[in-house]
Amino acid sequence: MVTRRELVRALAGAVGEAAVIYRPEDLLLYEYDATIEKSQPYAVVLPATAQEVADCVHVCRSFGIPVTPRGAGTGLSGGAVPARAGVVISTARMRQILEIDVENRLAVVQPGVANLHVSEAAAVHGLFYAPDPSSQKACTIGGNVAENAGGPHCLALGVTQNHVLGIEVVTADGDVRWLGGRVPDAHGYDLRGLFIGSEGTLGIATSVIVRLLPVPPSVRTLLAIFDSIEAASRTVSAVIGAGMITAALEMRDNDTIRAAEAGLHCGYPEDAGAVLLIELDGVADAVEAQSGRATDICYANGTREVRSASSAAERALLWRGRKEAIGSLGQLAPNYYILDGVVPRSRLVETMRRVEAISAAAGLQVANVFHAGDGNLHPCIVFDEREPGATARVLEAGAAVMQACVDAGGALSGEHGVGFEKQQFMAWLYNEADLENMARLRPVFGNDGLFNPCKVIPEGTGCGEMAHQAAALRAAGPDAYI
- Using 50, 70 and 90 to split pLDDT, how confident is the model at 468? very low
Of residues 134, 140, 72, 148, the one with CA closest to residue 327: 134
Is this prediction's pTM over 0.85?
yes
Residue 464 has pLDDT above 70, yes or no: no
Residue 462 has pLDDT above 80, yes or no: no
pLDDT, residue 451, reads 97
Of residues 394, 408, 395, the one with CA closest to residue 342: 408
Tell me the per-residue pLDDT of 193-203, one tens digit each, with 9 for 90 and over.
Answer: 999 999 999 99
Bridge partner list, 412 = none
Architecture of the domain delimited by 4-92+442-476: 2-Layer Sandwich (3.30)
Tell me the per-residue pLDDT of 4-19, one tens digit each, with 9 for 90 and over.
Answer: 999 999 999 999 999 9
Three-state secondary structure call for residue 259: helix
- Using 50, 70 and 90 to split pLDDT, how confident is the model at 459? confident
Look up residue 134 and give its amino acid: S
User: Using CA atoms, how far apart are residues 159 and 417, in angstroms rounded to an integer?
Assistant: 13
Please give the residue that has the higher pLDDT: either 477 or 184.
184
**C-alpha dist (Å) from residue 20 to 13, 43, 46, 133, 203:** 10, 7, 7, 29, 20
Q: Contact 163/211 with Cβ under 8 angstroms?
A: yes
pLDDT, residue 364, reads 96
Residue 388 has pLDDT above 90, yes or no: yes
- Using 50, 70 and 90 to split pLDDT, how confident is the model at 187? confident
Residue 262: alpha-carbon gap to chain centroid: 25
Q: What is the mean pLDDT of the chain?
A: 94
- Kindly report the length of the chain: 482
Q: Contact 151/134 with Cβ under 8 angstroms?
A: yes
Tell me the per-residue pLDDT of 326-365, one tens digit each, with 9 for 90 and over.
Answer: 989 999 999 999 999 999 988 998 999 999 999 999 999 9
Please give the residue that has the higher pLDDT: either 206 or 476.
206
Three-state secondary structure call for residue 266: coil
Q: Contact 296/408 with Cβ under 8 angstroms?
A: no
Q: Domain coordinates of the chain in residue numbers? A: 4-92+442-476, 97-214, 218-327, 333-420
Q: Contact 374/154 with Cβ under 8 angstroms?
A: yes
Tell me the per-residue pLDDT of 400-410, one tens digit each, with 9 for 90 and over.
Answer: 999 999 999 99
- Using 50, 70 and 90 to split pLDDT, how confident is the model at 474? low
User: Using CA atoms, how far apart are residues 213 and 304, in angstroms rounded to an integer?
Assistant: 36
* Structural class in CATH, domain 218-327: alpha beta
User: Using CA atoms, how far apart are residues 149 and 110, in angstroms rounded to an integer?
Assistant: 17
Tell me the per-residue pLDDT of 278-287, one tens digit each, with 9 for 90 and over.
Answer: 999 999 999 9
Architecture of the domain delimited by 333-420: 2-Layer Sandwich (3.30)
Bridge partner list, 114 = 140
Three-state secondary structure call for residue 94: coil
Within 8 A by CB and 6+ apart from 434, the residues are none
Residue 422 has pLDDT above 70, yes or no: yes
Q: Contact 147/414 with Cβ under 8 angstroms?
A: no
Would you say the CATH fold of 333-420 matches that of 218-327? yes
Tell me the per-residue pLDDT of 315-336, one tens digit each, with 9 for 90 and over.
Answer: 999 999 999 999 899 999 999 9
Tell me the per-residue pLDDT of 228-263, one tens digit each, with 9 for 90 and over.
Answer: 999 999 999 999 999 999 999 999 999 999 999 998
User: Using CA atoms, how far apart are residues 381 and 225, in angstroms rounded to an integer?
Assistant: 23
Residue 254, exposed/middle/buried by CB under 10 A (0-12, 13-18, 19+)? Answer: buried
Please give the angle made by the CA atoms of 448, 449 and 455, to the nearest 5 degrees.
Answer: 140
Q: Contact 230/356 with Cβ under 8 angstroms?
A: no
Among 3.30.465.10, 3.90.1150.10, 3.30.70.1290, 3.30.70.2190, what is the CATH number of 97-214? 3.30.465.10
Q: What is the mean pLDDT of residues 76-103?
A: 97
User: Using CA atoms, how far apart are residues 294 and 222, in angstroms rounded to an integer?
Assistant: 9
DSSP labels for 114-175? Answer: BHHHHHHHHGGGTEE-----TTTTT-BHHHHHHHT---TTHHHH--GGGTEEEEEEEETTS-
Three-state secondary structure call for residue 225: strand
pLDDT, residue 461, reads 55
**C-alpha dist (Å) from residue 140 to 152, 211, 440:** 17, 16, 28
